[in-house]
Amino acid sequence: ALARAEAGRGAAERTAEAERQLELADRAVLARGITSFHDAGVSYAELDRLAAMADTGRLGVRLWVMVRDTVANHAANLHRYRRVGERAGKLTVRAIKVSIDGALGSRGAWLLEPYADLPGSTGLATTDPAEVRELARLALEQDYQLCVHAIGDRANRETLDIFTEALGSVPDGRQRRWRIEHAQHLNPAEIPRFAELGVVAAMQGIHCTSDAPYVVARLGERRAEEGAYVWRKLADAGAVIVNGTDAPVEPVDPIASFYATVTRQLADGTRFYPDQALSREEALATYTKNAAWAAFEENDKGTLELGKLADITVLDRDLLTIPEDEIPATRVVWTIVGGEVLHEAPAGPAAL
């Protein structure tokens, strides 16, 4: 019935509805204090829509977009869609997204060893590594970043092997800033490879505390301890870590993800391998200067400096100094993009 109803709507009506939804999403992320949003996978048709909205001043948040499509469509379109900081700095298209495995919760993450609670399965590759290699070739050819969803330890190893081969074929491979999205479960041998290759670990603090109730069941105690959500090990090995929420998988709430990153505390008060937490300063960097660097935007944003964009989030308390248990109650007062206040909290202490 839904499909019939959708088919009965005209193209103009469908476009108007899609743009209305995008405008609602724009307001929602601004209300959460987000000034730049890394969108991890849109189609070329959606890019056309976003470009039209940016051209007419209907985007408040700055978008850095990964394109997700087939190898054939990428080969035909990548050169036409690459845009860096265009549309008043509101839309950048310079990255390709592909998933090489599934999720840990559904036992779809691709593992080196079988699941502890499903001995006959090691998960699956959702994309043939040969196809990922072809995308890597296109990314190098068209000067795009390659961003690969990899959760399981085998998925991460296969991805890093592909990156090693591709980035090693060009003299500036370490400067390409390719990314692994999630990097949730790593074999210890892979941890130093991120820094060695200049690969960004794009992780989500909130995933650790959301997934923790079943991680040991899926992986067993040894694998969970040595390689699950190992932010501290990655940071100590020199990797650049970028934070996020993976919306709509998790709510768009940077404060909640920040809290998970620095505490690894579950709702029941227990902490999931707390030795892998980051400091508050490190966690703040994963949302600011690291994220800017991962998008080749460190000269324009990520820190408050003369000459950079006036993209500022004002909170009602200092995340770096307040008692730990107050962090979740932190609220956004203003979200400022390009010097313009695009979100302001309702007046009054009760509203904050």
* Residues paired with 295 in a beta bridge: none
Q: Using the 8-state DSSP alphabet, how is residue 346 labeled?
A: P
Token duo for residue 176: 């390409």
d(Cα 245, Cα 154) in Å, to the nearest integer?
23
- Write the CA distances from 268 to 212, 224, 249, 265, 272, integer angstroms: 12, 19, 21, 8, 11
Q: How confident is the model at residue 350 (pLDDT cuts 50, 70, 90)?
A: very low
Query: Is the preceding peptide bond at 248 cis, omega within 30 degrees of 0?
Result: yes
Q: What is the pLDDT of residues 57-114, one digit of tens each?
A: 999 999 999 999 999 999 999 999 999 987 778 999 999 999 999 999 999 999 999 9
Counting Cα atoms < 13 Å in the Cβ hemisphere of 196 gives 10
Q: How many CA atoms lie within 13 A of 75 on its CB side?
A: 7
The whole-model pTM stands at 0.94
CATH of domain 33-307: 3.20.20.140
Q: What is the pLDDT of residues 307-349, one digit of tens each?
A: 999 999 999 999 999 999 999 999 999 999 999 999 999 875 4
Residue 163 has φ and ψ, to the nearest 5°, of -60, -40
Strand partners, 115: 118
Alpha carbons 150 and 186: distance in angstroms, whole number: 10
CA atoms within 13 A on the CB side of 313: 24
User: What gap in Å lies between CA 54 and CA 37, rounded to an integer?
Assistant: 14
Model pLDDT, residue 262: 99
Place of tokens 């959708």: 6
Considering Cα of 159, then 165, then 170, then 172, what sign does the dihedral take? positive
Helix ranges restricted to H, the chain = 2-7, 11-31, 44-55, 71-81, 86-89, 129-142, 153-167, 191-197, 205-219, 221-227, 231-236, 254-263, 280-287, 289-294
Helix (H, G, I), strand (E, B) or coil at 147: strand
> Tokens 């743009």 label which residue?
19
3-class SS at 338? coil
- SS3 breakdown of the chain: % helix, strand, coil, rounded to 5? 45, 20, 35
Q: Tell me the pLDDT of the chain averaged across its residues.
A: 95
Place of tokens 């909640």: 256
Q: Angle at the Cα of 203 (from 100 to 112), degrees rounded to 5?
A: 45
Cα 253 to the center of its chain, rounded Å: 13
92 in Cβ contact with 295 (< 8 Å): yes
Does the structure show a pLDDT above 50 at 352?
A: no
Instruction: Tell me the torsion sign for CA atoms 195, 70, 41, 127.
Output: negative
pLDDT single digits (tens) 93-108: 999 999 999 999 999 9
- pLDDT the model gives residue 5: 56
Do the beta carbons of residue 338 and residue 89 sit within 8 Å?
Answer: yes
Tell me: the pLDDT tens digits for 208-254? 999 999 999 999 999 999 999 999 999 999 999 999 999 989 999 99
Query: Is the pLDDT assigned to residue 132 strictly greater than 50?
Result: yes
